[in-house]
Amino acid sequence: MEKFIIHTEVFAYDHPDELDPKEAKLLESATEAMRNAYAPYSRFKVGAALLLEDGKIIKGNNQENAAYPSGLCAERVAIFACGANHPGMKIVSIAITAGSLDFASDHPIAPCGACRQTMLEYELNQDTPIAVIMRGRSGKIYRCEGIKQLLPIFFHEDGLKLK
């Protein structure tokens, strides 16, 4: 048996002004996207914004459906919009923010497992880390240097190849 420790590094900020100005703007874009989310069932709105290498910002928000599995998370809406409309363009960072219409969300909201896996595939394909900025409606802001910090043990295409 072998035991190993996985180290994840996350930076915590008290205010958006502490972030790089581009990332502070990206977080505001995610907040704008959150306001337009379609979440009539969960009443939990999520916004995501991607900063591309050319400076463009791509927004996404959660889109629910009465047939719950048919909805899609904000992060994947933004990532897939980027892949469809800006193929080959590298993603520099993603900001994610969320808030409930029913309770206070004053802590950073992390992406779900499916979104982490999707974002990681884009990070691996572009061979450059994608910084992740996370916030609730208020409170601390978390930032990590790449998706691998959030999903250190991951499934990759190598698992699909015959040896």
Active-site residue, from 64, 75, 145, 157: 75
Say whether 18 is catalytic.
Answer: no
**Token reading at 20:** 């790089």
For 52-55, which contacts have Cβ atoms below 8 Å and span 24 or more sequence positions?
52/82, 52/86, 52/89, 52/90, 52/91, 52/92, 53/89, 53/90, 53/91, 53/92, 54/89
Catalytic residues: 75
